[in-house]
Amino acid sequence: ELPTDDVTEDLIEDGHCEEILKKPCPAQYTGIKEEELVIWVDPLDGTKEYTEGLLDHVTVLIGIAYGGKAIAGVINQPYYNYEAGANAVLGRTIWGVLGMGAFGFQLTEAPAGKHIVVTTRSHSSALVNECIAALNPDHVIRVGGAGNKIIQLIEGKASAYVFASPGCKKWDTCAPEAILHAVGGKITDIRGNSFQYNKEVKHMNSAGVLATLRNYDYYASRIPNTVKESLVP
């Protein structure tokens, strides 16, 4: 825990974003009590990439769940644009709420007819690679961070995020799930089960991750049974 007297005033943000306050809260969420919410936070998603200087992979994730379901999320990219030169505006914040939409980026679909899979960069395994091979992708992108992988989907750089491994946690998927679902995408485990985000749930997403902005059924139907049987929820 940081000693509070060492935190300078300019590091403390106590204001509100006027742009967000202008938007009406979806009716189904106006009566929620604070104690009914569960917040899943990953202060540094893409840790290994951060240590290697791959700063564009790094995100800060804040997911908000209600009734076990991801309903709102924030993906902050603190180093966005870091390679664009000294005068570039550094960082951006992508956020979304179910029933409202998602903001802070340009929603783009992956090229039609192309099967581009984004997967792990630093947690690969035989099972991960077997699953990807079964999808017969045109191209595979390997990047760090769950938040970063969802960004690849919503900005049209990839058509499916596939991770056939138990390494991912609820704080990795809650915020990205809310944003992806807010724009009509879908995320489940490799077996097709929805993630639950109530506070009693186990932290590990033991059966991996399958996510798409569009055409979820196409990819889900091509996951081999041998892969599904190897990953127990």
Binding-site sequence positions = 42, 44-45, 172
Q: Tally the C-alpha atoms within 13 A of residue 90's C-alpha that lie toward its C-beta.
A: 10
How far apart, in whole angstroms, are the C-alpha atoms of residue 165 and residue 162?
9
As a whole number of angstroms, the distance between CA 54 and CA 49 comes to 5
Alpha carbon distance 153, 59 (integer Å)? 15
What residue numbers does the annotated binding site for Mg(2+) cover? 42, 44-45, 172
Q: What do you get for the CA distance between the two ends of the chain, in Å?
A: 33
The contacts of residue 68 (CB under 8 Å, 6+ apart) are 196, 197, 198, 201
